[in-house]
Amino acid sequence: MERDVGRGSGLRIKVFADGADLEAILELAADPVVSGFTTNPTLMRKAGIEDYEGFARKVLDHVRDRPISFEVCADDFGEMKRQAHRLSSWGQNVYVKIPVTNTQGISSSPLIADLTADGLHLNVTGILTLAQVRVVAESLSDSSGAVVSVFAGRIADTGRDPVPLMAAAVELLQPYPNLELLWASPREVLNVGQAESVGCHIITVTHELLKKLGGLGRSLEEVSLDTVRMFYSDAVAAGYLP
């Protein structure tokens, strides 16, 4: 994997690597440009992980100086609370991901407030509306540090421009200096600049998208030439139209 992630780009926004590829995580742990890590049960399942705790502890053996988020795997709020404390016990840099609602659409805000009072660092996930941002921020108001993850990429998937909503979310969090707004599920490098321009604190970037960040700000003429060379090289290698 390339290791020059965004280097020289002048990015102010924090870049969190999002994925469950253990080898890639351990490699990226050596890169100071990566400010943290996130994962979720879907990514872990796709990566073929069967032992959740075993995977997490291997990651935490190597990632000690940056935040990393692990998500609860329950729908009942009582079980979420139990799991949250278990996940938190694995490391001081663990942020516990709590979904904004359960699968019935019931708000997790009482649980978020309880876990905050217990001193856990939280990453509230699955947020797509400003109403959700407002409620979550209020529930996290006494936190010593928490992340509010708004899935801008999924907002864009519905045909809506996420930029105005994310800018409004930044304003909603202004009274809460203890909270960080995270632009989740970016689809392209353009989103990194968008997230930074509206004032988001963090953006999660997949391992594949991380490889593309080295091209941030490149000359379009240079990219054009690389594209032409790629087409020509592949045509020659394939032996087309001799």
What are the catalytic residues?
Answer: 97
- Among 17, 19, 20, CA closest to 35: 17
Cα–Cα distance between 170 and 235 in angstroms, integer?
48
Q: How far is CA 149 from the centre of its chain?
A: 8
Counting beta carbons within 10 angstroms of the beta carbon of residue 20, is it exposed (0 to 12), middle (13 to 18) or buried (19 or more)? buried
In order, the DSSP letters of 153-214 are HHHHHTT--HHHHHHHHHHHTTT-TTEEEEE-S--STHHHHHHHHHT-SEEEEEHHHHHHGG
Give the orientation angle of helix 162-172 with respect to helix 130-139, to 10 degrees: 20
Query: Which amino acid belongs to residue 196?
Result: E
